[in-house]
């Protein structure tokens, strides 16, 4: 599945800088001279200190934000507007609270114009794939956090995204549920062929899931280092954390990440009023 570094990349950020004017009129540069690419079918995790510019990077890929300078390309063409080939999963569940599970999962195909019966059949299949058979008529408030996340995954994968952007999708879940969801994500992704950018604060999660881990500097974000993860697939995250190779890679990347986290922490401490 992984085609890291081969062929035309799915995503390219070329010397991208993105600045904002803050509410008090200051110019804030969130990312600077940022260059990275994601191969077709590659799973890339992005880690960096809090507030360094990870979400800004994702919004540039979506086309929701434009670079101040530099260029963002998808499959070799400049990003222009929202691209239907992109799917998103965020920390907050993007499920419709007033719709049942099956209606949530079928929403994408229905919006795309698929006839109701076909959309429902497809949704039924995805509900089954994410282990929610029997819960089709439940509403989001009747589900656990993990189940709602499964709905969000089905809702996204049903549209066959070529690019999947994930912004701390599992961070609100308890630790055990998170590990199961990570395993489920890998199973769904491995048959999808999607190119993934997965933003997380959790280094173990990044290494367990990804083909490559990109470490960002404390803001303004730029790419500090990129690590290939040589762990074989298929992977089972619930077992992987005790693998000596996994522990070794974690130590190496943490050495790099720690110094950036320290810079970020010291800045936030200095910024705190006495
Ligand atoms: N629309 C905006 N206007 C002004 N500043 C912004 C805007 N969006 C982001 N920023 C600033 O840009 C910087 C990077 O924000 P971003 O959300 O990309 O970081 P992050 O790494 O995703 O953060 P976290 O780790 O907390 O999720 C922050 O200082 C943030 O306050």
Residue boundaries of the structural domains of the chain: 11-85+162-271, 95-160
Regarding the beta carbon of 22 and ligand 1, being less than 6 Å apart is answered: yes
Q: In angstroms, what is the span from residue 87 Cα to ligand 1's centroid?
A: 21
Q: In angstroms, what is the span from residue 108 Cα to ligand 1's centroid?
A: 29
Task: Check: CB of residue 253 under 8 Å from CB of residue 213.
Answer: yes
Q: Is the pLDDT of residue 3 over 50?
A: no
Local structure of 241: helix, strand or coil = coil
Which residue puts its alpha carbon closest to atom 23 of ligand 1? 51
Q: Is the pLDDT of residue 126 over 70?
A: yes
Tell me: the pLDDT tens digits for 188-197? 999 999 999 9
How much is the ipTM here?
Answer: 0.94
Radius of gyration of the chain (CA): 19
Which residue puts its alpha carbon closest to atom 13 of ligand 1? 30
Give the ranges where 74-232 is alpha helix by DSSP (H): 101-111, 116-129, 145-157, 175-190, 203-209
- Nearest 10 degrees: CA dihedral of 39, 45, 46, 49? -170
Q: What's residue 160's pLDDT?
A: 95
Tokens matching residue 117: 């019966």
What ligand 1 atom has the least distance to the C-alpha of 168?
A: 27
Candidates 3.30.420.10, 3.40.50.2300, 3.40.50.300, 3.30.70.2860; CATH matching 11-85+162-271: 3.40.50.300
- Residues 36-46 have a mean pLDDT of 97
Regarding the beta carbon of 64 and ligand 1, being less than 6 Å apart is answered: no
Regarding the beta carbon of 30 and ligand 1, being less than 6 Å apart is answered: yes
Whether the model pTM is above 0.90: yes
Q: What's residue 271's pLDDT?
A: 65
What ligand 1 atom has the least distance to the C-alpha of 49?
A: 25
125, 123, 174, 165: which is closest to 147 by C-alpha? 174
């Amino acid at each position: 599945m992984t085609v890291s570094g081969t062929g035309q990349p799915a995503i390219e950020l070329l010397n991208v800088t993105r600045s904002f004017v803050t509410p008090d009129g200051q110019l804030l540069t969130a990312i600077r001279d940022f260059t990275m690419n994601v191969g077709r079918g590659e799973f890339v995790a992005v880690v960096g200190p809090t507030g360094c510019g990870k979400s800004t990077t994702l919004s540039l890929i979506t086309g929701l934000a434009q670079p101040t300078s530099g260029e963002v390309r998808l499959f070799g063409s400049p990003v222009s507007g929202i691209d239907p080939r992109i799917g998103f999963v965020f920390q907050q569940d993007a499920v419709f609270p007033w719709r049942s599970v099956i209606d949530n999962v079928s929403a994408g195909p229905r919006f795309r114009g698929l006839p109701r019966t076909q959309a429902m059949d497809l949704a039924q299949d995805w509900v089954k794939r994410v282990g929610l058979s029997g819960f089709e008529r439940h509403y989001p408030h009747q589900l656990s956090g993990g189940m709602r996340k499964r709905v969000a995954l089905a809702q996204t994968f049903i549209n066959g995204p070529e690019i999947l952007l994930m912004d701390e999708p599992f961070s609100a879940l308890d630790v055990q549920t998170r590990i199961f969801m990570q395993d489920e994500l890998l199973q769904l992704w491995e048959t999808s062929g999607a190119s993934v950018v997965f933003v997380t604060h959790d280094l173990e999660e990044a290494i367990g899931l990804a083909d490559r881990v990109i470490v960002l500097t404390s803001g303004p974000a730029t790419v500090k280092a990129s690590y290939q993860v040589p762990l074989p697939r298929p992977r089972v995250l619930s077992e992987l954390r005790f693998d000596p190779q996994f522990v070794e890679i974690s130590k190496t990347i943490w050495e790099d990440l720690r110094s950036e986290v320290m810079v970020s922490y010291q800045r936030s401490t200095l910024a705190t009023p006495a």
